[in-house]
Structure 1
Amino acid sequence: MVLRVGGDWGVADSSRRRDAADAEPPPAQQAWLADVATAAAADAGGVPVQLLGDYLPMLADAAASGRRPRRAELDAVGRLGRQAAEQGISAGRVVQLYLSSARRLWQDLPAVVRSRDSEVVRAAAAAVLHVIDDAVATLAEGYALARRDLVRREEALRRELIDDLLRGDSDLGSLVERAEPFGLDLARVHQVALAAPSRRLPDTDAAISALEAVIFDRLGDRDVLVATKEGLLVVLAPAEATGTAPAGHDNDLGQLMHGELNRLRHGRPWRVAVGRPHPGLYGIARSYEEAREALTMAGRLHTDKTVVTAHDLLVYRVLLRDQPAIVDLVSAVLTPLTQARGGPAPLLDTLDAYFATGGVATESARRLHVSVRTVTYRLDRIKTLTGYDAVDPAHRFTLQAAVLGAKVLNWPLETLPSST
């Protein structure tokens, strides 16, 4: 194919350029451009040639007449960029298609390449490069806009799916259908983990991206969702993939999340709560409620643990199921401690440390940063005020249950609620 290079490049009038743009390429030129497009598509890994649109005729016209692309032509290229993104074709392959086709077209411009007039060749090259520059930039812009729209749509769908899964009251058939594109098998055993920053999370996207990267690398991208809900980061994962034992003592998912989140610049320190594994759709909602309850309970207990599990806090859930009874227990057993000089707090702390160390006074003293004599004095004082002896196995269970109840009720910082 020999392209005719018309006259003087720099002085072609506007009417001649419009005529060149509107004219239908002759059959020979159409065949040549089709060959160029096919070869360029192969270079780009089989990208559909339809994504070139009228790009090659624009290049050929620029080489022949120096005409720059019209706004409508560039808008069409932008739409092709959006189309490529919607088809899931990578941006690199689409750009490669455009650059490869430009290279091949230039190589097959004998009339320009063989010209002895360097100004003609220079002008042709400048015009073609200008089209390439405008077209590829517009293509990339269209692609990016489409990708942003796709991400927003996917994020909205994911957030809606997460909300419905955690609520547990949606139509099962609909949820199964909606979960499938995200790789979720609702028949499997899942568990939910929640992460709360110490202050408002400034960059939610960064936290989600960091979590997704490490969790997908460790657990794979099947049956895993990472999202946000009510200011918390939510991770839904298959229980068998996390290494969580049936008894709930292992906590690979929580430790994995906490370790990765603490690498972020903002939001430290983090607290992570993990629900127990449960099967099926309603098991997801149950695990979520357990994780949320564990997170709330950890705050109320003022625990220094950064990763808590629902399994570890089961005893507190039992206590809270009969709040009037636990209020009566705390009131009857521990309120006499308010008569102590300095209030009940030091005595409660001593009981808590004593039970946590298995009744070892020396270890309790070390934890409390007091002398062993102080610990034994406080235990005697508790026995005098309440009538319960922490050293006596018959009294120990009652005292320990009352101390746990006081933690749950945040007593004595808060007034005991009515037991009626």
Structure 2
Amino acid sequence: MDDVLARVSEATGVPADLLGGYLSVLAATAATGRLPGRAEVDDLKVCGALAAERGIPLRVLADACLHAAELTAGGAFGAVRRSMAAFAEGYEAAQLTAIRKEEEGRRAFVDDLLWGRADARRAEHFGLRLAEAYMATVVKADRALAAEDPLIRRIEQALVARFGSHNILVAARDGLLVCVAPGSLGAAGGEFVHHVRSALPSFRAGVGRPHAGPGGIVTSYQEAANAIELGERLGLRPQVLKASDLLVFPVLLRDRSAIVDLVSTVLGPLTTTRGGPEPLLETLEAIFASQGNHTAAARRLGISARTITYRLERVRRLTGFSPTDPTQRFTLETAVLGARLLEWPAQPLT
């Protein structure tokens, strides 16, 4: 047996310690006709797992099994089949364990990355070079996305196939789907959204600006997530919102007392109208979104152009501000945006 073991090991490169139990099984089967039992099968599974851990390809292990069968007495091929199945089961179990560990490490890395705690070595392992400027694209679907969702791996594989493994990271964070890509790859975010659109029936996306370093990724992620939140609070129509297009809103929110004063002073009189201020606010929003076109605003709201004209005149009389006057229009539009940011009139101004 030792001679056969040495010959098989030399011919295939599989270490002898992985094959000794297998040759014993073959010898026993050839002598008695008995197939390997549970204990022998369990030992072979362990050897299969060890082969996986040592990086021995499964085809090489299978070749060693068949080569050993050729060199032993006939009648052992039933044992060959059962032994190879045990080898493969152990091998695959070891691979699944490695995959799970990789996924656990990946989730931990993503959490650290989006908290600004990732180091360059770990980032390189997962395909990111933190010296570059990166931008985040975030998607909020109609359902929370978990880290193990197969959609994540499918989209990342599609993006890696196009842009390379050292450019893209797709992961789930707080129920959101996140794509991190170099700022120089502007097409990556668009491609990411394209794949999301083909997989999810309803979603809203936010795109952060490019920022350098680990902290830059956090900043871009927060910008993208905030863009989604602003879109929902303001009722913005675009499905994909860029943080660079929404820079005025953080400015407005930075001085809350000033925006509260603006909303109260400019729009407060609308609360005296019958039906409350909401219809008039919606009319102003439609007019601003339609660049002052009454017909387009009426179509947007599903009412007549005459009603639009009546409501705007009502706003002018109550507030003293007209949306047709350039200076007054700016004040009105800023006040309306501030009202939406403060969730007024549903929430009191404080």
- TM-score where L is the length of structure 2: 0.90
- What number of residue pairs does the alignment pair up? 350
Out of 53, 63, 80, which is 2:47 matched to?
80
What does the per-residue CA deviation read over 1:253-282, in whole Å, with 9 as the maximum and x for residues that have no partner?
1x4333323444xx6312222211101121
CA distance in 2, matches of 1:184, 1:134: 44
Q: CA deviation at 1:287?
A: 0.7
Out of 154, 160, 163, which is 2:102 matched to?
154
Q: CA deviation at 1:88?
A: 4.5
> Does residue 192 of structure 1 match 2:115?
no
- Tell me what 2:123 maps to: 179
- Tell me what 1:261 maps to: 196
Out of 86, 94, 102, which is 1:138 matched to?
86
**1:307-386 matched pairs, under 5 angstroms:** 307-386=240-319
- Tell me what 1:248 maps to: none
**1:256-295 matched pairs, under 5 angstroms:** 256-264=191-199, 268-295=201-228
Residues 313/47 of structure 1: CA separation in 2 closer, same or farther (3 Å cut): farther
CA distance in 2, matches of 1:189, 1:53: 54
What does the per-residue CA deviation read over 1:162-192, in whole Å, with 9 as the maximum and x for residues that have no partner?
1222112x3x7xx122222212211011112
User: Match for 1:59: what amino acid?
Assistant: L
Out of 331, 335, 342, which is 1:409 matched to?
342
CA distance in 1, matches of 2:152, 2:68: 44
CA distance in 1, matches of 2:174, 2:345: 30
Out of 149, 152, 165, which is 1:205 matched to?
149
Q: CA deviation at 1:378?
A: 1.4
- Tell me what 2:64 maps to: 101
Q: Quick check: 194-203 or 361-370, which moved more?
A: 194-203
What does the per-residue CA deviation read over 1:94-149, in whole Å, with 9 as the maximum and x for residues that have no partner?
1x33443344344445x64xxxxxxxxxxx1xxx2332233222222222322232
> Does residue 306 of structure 1 match 2:243?
no
> Does residue 398 of structure 1 match 2:331?
yes
Out of 204, 228, 238, which is 2:172 matched to?
228
What does the per-residue CA deviation read over 1:6-41, in whole Å, with 9 as the maximum and x for residues that have no partner?
xxxxxxxxxxxxxxxxxxx3xxxx3334334444x3
Q: CA deviation at 1:395?
A: 0.6
CA distance in 2, matches of 1:268, 1:306: 12
CA distance in 2, matches of 1:133, 1:389: 86
Residues 360/295 of structure 1: CA separation in 2 closer, same or farther (3 Å cut): same
> Does residue 163 of structure 1 match 2:135?
no
User: Any conservation in 2 of the 1:78–1:143 contact (CA below 8 Å)?
Assistant: yes
Residues 309/55 of structure 1: CA separation in 2 closer, same or farther (3 Å cut): same
User: Any conservation in 2 of the 1:53–1:77 contact (CA below 8 Å)?
Assistant: no
CA distance in 1, matches of 2:263, 2:228: 23
Secondary structure of the corresponding residue to residue 185 of structure 2? helix
User: Any conservation in 2 of the 1:194–1:272 contact (CA below 8 Å)?
Assistant: yes
Unaligned runs of 5+ in 1: 1-24, 113-123, 244-251
Unaligned runs of 5+ in 2: none
> Does residue 59 of structure 1 match 2:23?
no
Q: CA deviation at 1:50?
A: 5.7
User: Any conservation in 2 of the 1:258–1:271 contact (CA below 8 Å)?
Assistant: no
CA distance in 2, matches of 1:176, 1:149: 25
What does the per-residue CA deviation read over 1:197-237, in whole Å, with 9 as the maximum and x for residues that have no partner?
21244784212122212221222211422222222222222
User: Match for 1:163: what amino acid?
Assistant: D
User: Any conservation in 2 of the 1:383–1:389 contact (CA below 8 Å)?
Assistant: yes
Residues 393/303 of structure 1: CA separation in 2 closer, same or farther (3 Å cut): closer
User: Any conservation in 1 of the 2:234–2:337 contact (CA below 8 Å)?
Assistant: no
- Tell me what 1:120 maps to: none
CA distance in 2, matches of 1:157, 1:102: 35
CA distance in 2, matches of 1:406, 1:268: 30
- TM-score where L is the length of structure 1: 0.76
User: Any conservation in 1 of the 2:41–2:83 contact (CA below 8 Å)?
Assistant: yes
CA distance in 1, matches of 2:292, 2:16: 78
User: Match for 1:259: what amino acid?
Assistant: H
CA distance in 2, matches of 1:106, 1:88: 23
User: Any conservation in 1 of the 2:146–2:172 contact (CA below 8 Å)?
Assistant: no
CA-based RMSD: 2.5
- Tell me what 1:32 maps to: 4
Q: CA deviation at 1:48?
A: 6.0
Secondary structure of the corresponding residue to residue 54 of structure 1? helix
Identity rate of aligned residues, in percent? 44
User: Any conservation in 2 of the 1:274–1:291 contact (CA below 8 Å)?
Assistant: yes
Residues 84/238 of structure 1: CA separation in 2 closer, same or farther (3 Å cut): farther
Residues 319/201 of structure 1: CA separation in 2 closer, same or farther (3 Å cut): same
